[in-house]
Amino acid sequence: MITIAVDAMGGDHAPAAIVDGAVAAARHLDIQISLVGAPDAVAQALDAHADCVTCASPSWTPRTSWR
């Protein structure tokens, strides 16, 4: 399975809109998404997709990496 890293903090409505799109892509394209960004914000956005536990996962990075 292919894994794609996605910057979850980019965009006006991040991370929710980014996570929504990444999860949709993972469901339709049979890929694994690694969401990179602020840990708490990404985890909260992923809570809306509890049924898609295996298709997307947070990738914790230090704050200096995503500011």
pLDDT one digit per residue (tens) for the chain, 67 residues: 888 999 999 889 999 999 999 999 999 998 889 898 888 899 899 999 988 777 777 776 665 544 4
The pLDDT assigned to 46 comes to 92
Helix (H) / strand (E) containing 67: none
State the pTM of this model.
0.82
The pLDDT assigned to 39 comes to 84
Starting at the edge strand found earlier in the chain, the sheet holding 56-60 runs 3-7, 32-37, 56-60
**CA distances, 34 to each of 6, 38, 45, 55, 61 (Å):** 6, 13, 13, 9, 11
Domain ranges of the chain: 3-51
